[in-house]
Structure 1
Amino acid sequence: MLLITFLLTLCNFLTSFSLLFTLPLLSYSLLTPSQRKTYRHEFLSTSLMIFLTFSPGKWSPSDYTQIGWHVVGVVLSDWISGGAQVNPMVTVVMYCLRKETFENVLIKITAQLSSGYFTFLLSAHTSDYFNLTRFGGPEIPEEKNPLGLNKERVYEDCFWDEFGSGMLLLFAIFILNWELKFAPPTYKIPHLPPFFTLANPNYFIKQTLTAVTIRVLIISFPSAGPSINPMLGTTYYLFKNGGSQNVTLSGTHLLVYWVAPILGGCVAAVLYVMYKNGGGENVVSERSDEQEP
């Protein structure tokens, strides 16, 4: 029966979880109400981001359709979630700029990782149930790639691709969010009734440009997937390898998916601060780590 098949799929889905996922959820009970709110927001936003950016256009034969749907998914997920970070690299860089507390960084990254693992599992079972193609994810190439490069060269290329894409993404975030204004707070479409007034058009313009930037980076820096998001690289790796406690992360994985993009993002932050300080502006928040989030 269809009901039994559905229940069996649900049970298989529940048995897929391990301590990698359950321990962060158990720790949720120890958080204060304000911390739980931060955790929930980041968890749900990360899941929404993966669903809306990995699935749209996935089954379309046209590359242009897939690119278009990916851009729409990036904008839509950010708009619905209210601008969550959904990326440990961004979270760490914002901490370096003192726009996040250390406590908030731990909560957000835990939520991002838990959500990524949960979402890849859920998407896999959903795809299998409806006979759809499973989501893919970022991976480091095998020892030999099609060009015949050796293992060390492959890892080196992966490192610099993640470093460069992380740095450029943060530059785009700084410029599009803090430097440029594309439109007034509201915009009334000419020759139409007042009802046709766009609220905050600047947000949709800058977010669309951010989505286009992400797509360009994906195409331009493909060696390691790409990921440009440590959460995606790690949670997909854990999911693909069964998610058991026996799954370990190699030093290469941490170097490529965590150190490289975060280091690139921090370099972008340092250069941006130097640029702003040269103009007499201070972009580093004065907020102390002891303040409540």
Structure 2
Amino acid sequence: MIGSSPIRTFIAHAVLILGILIVAFPIYYTFVASTHSLQTILRPPLPLLPGDRFWENYSTALFGGIGRIGGVSVGTLLYNTTVVALAIAIGKIVISIVSAYAIVFFRFPFRMTFFWLIFITLMLPVEVRILPTYKVMVDLGLIDTYAGLTLPLMASATATLLFRQFFMTIPGELVEAARVDGAGPFRFFKDILLPLSKTNIAALFVIQFIYGWTQYLWPLLVTNRNDMNTIVIALRKMISFADADTEWHLVMVTCMLAIIPPILVVVLMQRWFVRGLVDTEK
């Protein structure tokens, strides 16, 4: 066991607190700006304490229309982004776990060829695939739709690889015991594999939810209507080159509302997320 002294403990805590302050201060400063009027923000220096416009600014952003994004409310943007993030996260997990299940537990011709074809897609950058994918979305009429925003992002070679590696650690005796008990492929998958995979699923859900929430390039391409924008795209549209044309108090409100859902997902699923990454008792 590594020994520690009061001085080492103090230094460790001091460094930790300093790191937290460095990370948290910009978020706090954004929150402070979101509670002041536009005139206060444009007249530096910005106060370090929250103002008296909290309810007014947040209600205007959530339920009112913001001019620079066509009168769309932040509530609509949050709904769009939540749908996209959930659909991408759940879709990636479902497709990946089913494909990994087929590759590991079924014997069919060219099984490993299909796996390596999936794996090779990791070597293709997004820029290589994005124009052909966009052309397909246009031909299918999926521009400005939730399907167009989510379907091309659901396939995940990384998640398939992770599930495959986990399934390969499952003892063959367990598979044989399930077969002797009369468990078919679907029952084996539902009653045995899914419960064993719940920590991996939770960890991947957190990662993929944040991945979907922060998407910028693809939503920028496939959305033309302001009411179909995600919150990241809307934030860019809300900012003008001229400070006077930008409603900075509403921009700051939108920034705060944009970071709350990912933080909640990480906090609420932290225990499962950590277990899914470090659990070795397979």
The structure with the largest helix share of the pair is 2
- Structure of greater relative contact order (alpha carbons < 8 Å, 6+ residues apart): 2
Query: Is the structural similarity TM-score above 0.5?
Result: no
Return the index of the structure with the highest Cα Rg.
2
Q: TM-score, normalised by structure 1?
A: 0.28
Q: TM-score, normalised by structure 2?
A: 0.28
